[in-house]
Amino acid sequence: MSTVQVDTINESTTGSGVTIDGLTIKDQSGTMVNPMLKYWTTGQLTGNDGSAGTNALETTSQTLADVPNWSISVTPSSTNSKIWVTLQVPIWSTDCPGDISLQSNHSGSYARIAEHRELGKDTGSSGVSGHLSTIISPNTTSTFTIKLQGASSASNGSNRFRINWYGWGELMAFELGA
Amino acid sequence: MAELSDAIVAIINGADNDVEYTFNGAEILTWESETVTQPTSEELQTKLEELNG
């Protein structure tokens, strides 16, 4: 095995980029910007119809609660990196709408980084697809946790709001280089 | 076909304003009520069978 050590590799043919083992490195502006460095995922989390009690939450409380198994541990490579967080989760507004909230503790305690309130409003007892997506700047190389929480929009025992019900979803995070 | 969730609602029926709970599809995770006791798994199963009777 040998190693090539140089400071700069320039393309030979203008506009063709530089190809390494089949992978061409160059974007339209001529500079590779914000490359994806790592990713983390929960994997597909089967909801209550296929895996009862594993990855789902039904709540009748207006206080946010953790959705079981909907968390990932993120360790950025650099303090300059951005983290793109995105999720898709099936929602069932059984008796009322509700909230889904992405929380991260990269600054110490958990804080909201993305949220959708009153999800399922006016749909009746029906399913909707929940999506949250954001880019954060954690400014750390220490491991932190991103998790999904949920709450019913109306408090009492017959106001059920269901997260990851009748389907399956996934929480993912991608590290983008500066 | 009733689900376990429906069994919970049937058990607390009439005291809706006194209960808040979280449930993962198989087990009750949290239960807050000063008037209604958290049902056991056996009670939920019995109520579910009654609903599906």
Residue A132 lies in a domain: yes
Q: Give CA separation, A93 vs A33, A125, B50, in Å.
A: 41, 5, 25
What ipTM does this complex have? 0.92
Q: Which of B8, B17, B22 sits opposite A156 (nearest CB)?
A: B17
Residue A136 lies in a domain: yes
Domain count within chain A: 1
Mutation test of the interface with chain B: which of A60, A62, A69, choosing the one with the most B Cβ atoms within 10 A?
A60
Q: Hey, how many other C-beta atoms are within 10 angstroms of the C-beta on B36?
A: 18
Q: Is the dihedral of CA A46, A49, A54, A55 positive or negative?
A: positive
Q: Which of B8, B19, B27 sits opposite A156 (nearest CB)?
A: B19
Residue A17 contacts B where some CB pair is shorter than 8 Å:
no
pTM of the shown model:
0.86
A68: CATH: 2.60.120.760
Residue A18 lies in a domain: no
Residue A146 lies in a domain: yes
State which residues form the domain around A160.
33-176
- Render pLDDT for A57-94 as a digit per residue (tens, 0 to 9): 999 999 999 999 999 999 999 999 999 999 999 999 99
